[in-house]
Amino acid sequence: MSANTYESLNLKEPKQSKDYVECSEFIVSTIEAIMTEAMEEARNKIIINTNLKLGIPMENVNKVAGPFVEAWALQVFTESLEDENNTYDLINVEAGERLNMADIILQFKKSRKRNSVVVGNVDVKATSKDISNSGKSPNITSFARIRSAYVEDPDYIFIVLSIKHRVFSTRDSDTKMMMGIMEVVDFKAYDLKYLSDSDISYNPALGTGQIQIRDIHYVTTCQRSTWEFCTLLDRKFIASKKGFKQWLEYAATYGWIK
């Protein structure tokens, strides 16, 4: 990244709140607690009824698993919200709109200096335990959209919820038809902003390009500020075949320059 180009620009520098780290850790730990509770209470199975005598085609099940797992996660969070003994301070659960970066939006009650609510934007990623490399390097979101989101809201919390599942079939004793069972077997939640440099990659294909995780099964984390994450994204974009000139066009279009 050339100092005579990128670093000479007067860029907007988003400054996160002093309690961002605390809020991020609170959301990640609460999401994991809710997921753990669902698994421990055996609410981790998705039953798929079909009229296929041989059951679900196992070799292709990963192609349809994503929407099922996403719907399951939404249901788990909704059940926690509706539980009269809700101990997670969860006050609202919404499905992300079609073009939203997040699949699920969670609002939690939390005492803060300026407000009493903290929001987690959750992107659900499904991977198969039985299929090698399934979902290993997922697209997370558009470079320009996530870069702009952090400029517009320096406290934007984007959580990647990786859910591992396995699928098997069983025959219904009454109907004699095969039922597919998709079982959640593991999960992990990460704040995208805290993934290590080596875990984040940039794919220039599709629009402004896609932010990817190199191997979602094995990631490390490190704390960084919102501005540090923006510069990390910029560096990866500029190092790609699109280069500084294309980045500068996007920066002007999306208002990243003062």
68-98 tens-digit pLDDT: 999 999 999 999 999 888 889 999 999 988 7
Task: Locate 240 and state its tokens.
Answer: 């790609």
Alpha carbon dihedral 246, 156, 135, 197, in 10-degree steps, equals: 60
pLDDT tens digits, one per residue of 94-144: 998 877 899 999 999 987 767 789 999 999 999 887 766 655 778 899 999
Residues contacting 127, CB < 8 A, separation 6+ = 134, 135, 136, 162, 163, 164, 165, 216, 217
Q: How many angstroms separate the CA atoms of 162 and 81, rounded?
A: 21
pLDDT at 56 over 80: no
List the domain boundaries for the chain: 20-193
Q: Which one is predicted more confidently, 235 or 58? A: 235
pTM: 0.90
Rounded CA separation 186/35 (Å): 9
